[in-house]
Chain A
Amino acid sequence: MPMKLVKTESENELEVERILHAKRYSLTLDRNLCVGCEICKTICPREAIEIKIVPKVNGEKAKQPIIDVDEQKCQYCGICNTLCPFGALKVRVDGEHVISVVKTESFPQLIRDIEVDTTKCDLDCVECEKACPLEIIEVSVRTPDGKEVSDIAKSKKKNVSVHVDIKTDLCPSCRLCEMQCPEGAVRVRKMFHGVMKINQEKCPEGCQDCLDVCPITGALYLGDNEKVHVNELYCIYCGVCKLVCPEEEALELQRTSVHHTPVRSGAWNKALEKLTSTTEMTKELRAKGSMKARGSVEKRLAYKEVS
């Protein structure tokens, strides 16, 4: 059979496929998980991902941008899969979830560092579950053999324990659950670090487009002056706000580092540079002490750091 490059789209999912006689590759985008933040587009090494800004209709709230993947360009390397903070993208080979860049250790994975000490949990507390803006936390009380207890009062609170199930793959590590936990049982380490500023004097009157599209409750909020404020405690630096902002200089977003598994990879250096900046990227390289990789990057990008 001759090769087929196929794209199928539905309301909930976008799928691109490369179908060969003997092998089948696919990349799926779960539109329910995707917030349109542009990270995948930024780091795609083959520029296969496009982003479409949804034009704003007067009187309506701003909508999150829409991701499109070019089936002619996608190489199914899985870099977007590893870096999507929301776990919206998935590559499969012959139906199995295989990220080739991870398998061959040629690209790092995000470290989703979330710890819950359930011994501290109150049996009837579900604050973290309530706090999660993406609804990926499920709190339950179970008996030692794993049975869920529906009526906590009846169980006499003996021999039962609290379980906190977090769909880690989908967690962008906003820390809302950590901050809302009354017992200090949750600890979340952010994946993306950076600086986010709103120059309110540049904000158009009454505009809160950034707030409309922000996936994290409380990262942006409307202040008393009717202007949007940022709470960097929760901000995940995904950048979807900047995409919809009508004023070029109103929002300033600069990522500084990404929490990832250690790996030597030119593709990562390039991705990191695009996500942060050349300075931050070389900082990381220096930290790694990887002189050779640095040399190769310098050669490739004709970039020489001024020491």
Chain B
Amino acid sequence: MSEEPRVGVFVCHCGLNIAGVIDVEEVTEYAKTLPNVVLAVHNRYICTAPGQAEIRTAIKEHKLNRVVVAACSPRLHESTFRRCITEIGLNPYVLEMANIREFSSWCHLSTPREATNEAKKIVKIAVAKARLLQALETIEFPVTNKALIIGGGIAGISAALDLADMGFKVYLVEKSESIGGHMAQLDKTFPTLDCSICIEGPKMVDVSRHPNIEIISYANILHVEGFVGNFRVKVRKNPRYVIADNCTGCGECRDVCPIEFPNKWDLNMGVRKAISLPFDQAVPLVYTINMDHCIECYKCVDVCGARQAINFDQQPEEIELNVGAIIVAIGFESYLPYTDHQYGYGKYDNVITALEFERLILAAGPTSGKVIRASDGEKPHSIVFIQCVGSRDVNKYEYCSGFCCMYTLKHAVMLKEKYKDDIQIYIIYTDMRSDFKGYEEFYNRAQKAGVHFVRVKLENRSVTEDPGTKNLIVHAETEGDQPVEIAAEMVVLANAAIPVQDAADLAKLLNIPIETDGFFVECQPKIRPSDTDIPGIFLAGACLGLKDIPYSVAQGSGAAAQASTILSRSTWIIEPFIAKVDEGICSGCKICKSVCDYNAVQIEKTHEKELAKVIDGLCRGCGTCSAACPTGAITMPLYTDAQVIAQVRAALEEVM
């Protein structure tokens, strides 16, 4: 576009939002005096259909080749006006927004004169840039219509099933041997007391049978590169020493295996065999040999016989997945309160955590559902539940773990219904949080069942033990500083839920931010709760912040819907804001590579020279490399040096 710039300025009243403060007539008249401005008009609402039509007519009549809209924030209507001028044949990037609403009328409500002057300056700056605008082309990439979901808990499962039902291929990568996550460890779910695995189990089986879903379990993410629509992910499949295709899941190998080791799935309260499944409903139904415990007697090899599913020579396998979108749903972990010495966890045999209690009361658990004390194997006659252990503690985890109040109520109701008056239940709490559908009613049910609720301060709670009987006494203080002492035969701690240990490593691989508390950060907490800052990477479930099952399911589906907006396209278009390197000027100093936060700069070797190359899909157009480049080889097409200098000059000149 080498012809003389012909700028049209359109000043918007925005009803009274702008015109109520700023003298739009004066701004319009002033705009007419600016160089290359051939037309300046004002209109009540430019963003409306008639307003846009006026722009198009003016472009045609006055042969405008640059357009300045003095109105609101470009975040709101830049795309509207780009579309508008494209319809009459102009390049969308010869438009410049002058934000006289947020930058002037709204912040200078009581000083209309100054506001008008400020608006004139903003228009002047916009025109200075508009004169230098060039036509630019958008960049298109093909989109791989496959998704990767990291984490096979209930959030990941929901996302996987939704995307697969939409027709997209889904890779579900899970770190442990089976999908299912925490939900598969639970006995019942609140507030309905449904059997947890009875609800989740069929979903897990659906995942394994879905033709569009490939479960890659017992695997780790090694490396992620690429960008929206075009991610390449390296995954390591850890050796199970069992060939998945040959394993029928019959369990004969488990029966002959001589070695038992503590089952992490049971929080090490029970055992599993050195060749086994973590739990009976595991998906995929493939056995795993734990080489940290196996004594290599090869009994399993013998009994497996002609099926030949066992291979002691199996090696880790690295595979590469090409996907268009990634959903991260890695869930949470439990904080083990060993360092909160006041509760005696790890010291007193009859102090356990809530998840340990969950495994204890579960019929398929290590005690077949019998609630027994570790010290003597007897059923306790009194249990004290202590809330907020580690959570809501500025020295540990400041946040509320969210679901502990409800699961404690669940445990209390289950115990009361199972043992009636043969058991006394006390809940030591500070605030009872039961604020979703049916939760408050469940709280009432617990109260009616005869559970004792004791409200105490968060501070000064402790447990002591009688070394002879191994019975416990829980000490606390009421709000009014009155001491409380409750004797208990068992104490259950509502321990904090915390981010997964390797969340930070994964965040680094994906280049997505995490909060100081270790959870992932959503792009915008209110209106983009599943998005990350990186296009094409989404979040779901408790890895974003703790949430219960229904919320995690909903968020999994939400993330799937978000991902489908990318996967359903054949191409992904990005605006031409990405950095451009002038190869003739680039000295190959690599400073740009070192400052880029998005790994978007690569160094390429050509004939004895190293050159910076920007990967279009990764570049976020931040301009850091351009500013850092000592030779001026990097240009930001929407913010060229010439344009920015012209804007600065315009800003520093006196306004008439």
Q: Which of A1-26 contact B (CB under 8 A)?
A: 1-3, 18-23, 25
Q: Note all chain A residues with C-beta closer than 8 A to B270.
A: 20-23
Inter-subunit contact A103/B271 (CB<8 Å): no
Q: Which of A77, A101, A105, A107 has the most CB of B within 10 A?
A: A77
Q: Which of A75, A101, A268 has the most CB of B within 10 A?
A: A75
Q: Out of B256, B350, B356, which one reaches A106, CB within 8 Å?
A: B256
Inter-subunit contact A265/B298 (CB<8 Å): yes
Please tell me if A296 contacts chain B, counting CB pairs below 8 Å: yes
Q: Which of B257, B268, B296, B350 has the most CB of A within 10 A?
A: B296
Q: Which of B340-388 contact A (CB under 8 A)?
A: 345-346, 349-352, 356, 360, 366-367, 372, 374
Inter-subunit contact B298/A266 (CB<8 Å): yes
Please tell me if A180 contacts chain B, counting CB pairs below 8 Å: no
Q: Out of A23, A101, A103, A270, which one reaches B366, CB within 8 Å?
A: A23
Please tell me if A123 contacts chain B, counting CB pairs below 8 Å: no
- Specify the main secondary structure of chain A where it touches its partner: loop
Q: Out of B267, B298, B374, which one reaches A296, CB within 8 Å?
A: B298
Residue of A nearest to B256 (CB): A104
Inter-subunit contact A22/B268 (CB<8 Å): no
Q: Note all chain B residues with C-beta closer than 8 A to A292.
A: 302
Inter-subunit contact B258/A2 (CB<8 Å): no
Q: Out of A79, A265, A300, which one reaches B312, CB within 8 Å?
A: A300
Q: Out of B260, B312, B360, B367, which one reaches A100, CB within 8 Å?
A: B260
Report, as a range, how many residues of chain A touch the other chain.
35 or more
Q: Note all chain B residues with C-beta closer than 8 A to A23.
A: 260, 270-271, 366
Distance to closest chain B CB from A177 (angstroms): 34
With contacts A1-B349, A18-B262, A20-B262 known, is A267 near B301, CB below 8 A? Answer: no
Report, as a range, how many residues of chain B touch the other chain.
35 or more
Distance to closest chain B CB from A11 (angstroms): 25
Inter-subunit contact B259/A100 (CB<8 Å): yes
Distance to closest chain A CB from B362 (angstroms): 12
Q: Note all chain B residues with C-beta closer than 8 A to A22.
A: 269-270, 366-367, 372
Q: Out of A3, A264, A265, A268, which one reaches B262, CB within 8 Å?
A: A3
Q: Note all chain A residues with C-beta closer than 8 A to B345.
A: 2
Inter-subunit contact A21/B299 (CB<8 Å): no
Q: Which of A165-182 contact B (CB under 8 A)?
A: none
Q: Note all chain A residues with C-beta closer than 8 A to B293.
A: 46, 75
Alpha-carbon gap, A21 to B271, bound state (A): 10
- Scoring B residues 20 to 60 as 1 if CB is less than 8 Å from chain A, else 0, what string do you get? 00000000000000000000000000000000000000000
Q: Note all chain B residues with C-beta closer than 8 A to A78.
A: 258
Q: Which of A21, A76, A100, A265 has the most CB of B within 10 A?
A: A21
Please tell me if B261 contacts chain A, counting CB pairs below 8 Å: yes
Q: Which of A277-302 contact B (CB under 8 A)?
A: 292-293, 296, 299-300
Alpha-carbon gap, A20 to B271, bound state (A): 8
Alpha-carbon gap, A103 to B256, bound state (A): 9
Q: Out of A46, A77, A264, which one reaches B302, CB within 8 Å?
A: A264
Alpha-carbon gap, A104 to B262, bound state (A): 19
Please tell me if A218 contacts chain B, counting CB pairs below 8 Å: no
Q: Out of A1, A18, A77, A293, which one reaches B298, CB within 8 Å?
A: A293
Residue of A nearest to B267 (CB): A2
Q: Note all chain A residues with C-beta closer than 8 A to B400.
A: none
Inter-subunit contact A267/B297 (CB<8 Å): yes
Inter-subunit contact B296/A1 (CB<8 Å): no
A-B residue pairs in contact (CB < 8 Å), sample of 8: A1-B349, A18-B262, A21-B352, A21-B367, A46-B295, A105-B256, A265-B299, A293-B298
**What is the interface of chain B, defined by CB distance below 8 A to chain A?**
256-262, 267-271, 274, 293, 295-299, 301-302, 312-313, 336, 345-346, 349-352, 356, 360, 366-367, 372, 374
Interface pairs A-B: 4 shortest CB-CB? A266-B298, A1-B374, A267-B297, A45-B295
**Known A100-B259, A104-B256; further 16 A-B contacts with Cβ < 8 A:** A3-B268, A19-B374, A21-B372, A22-B270, A22-B367, A101-B295, A101-B297, A104-B258, A104-B299, A105-B299, A106-B256, A106-B297, A106-B299, A264-B298, A265-B298, A293-B298
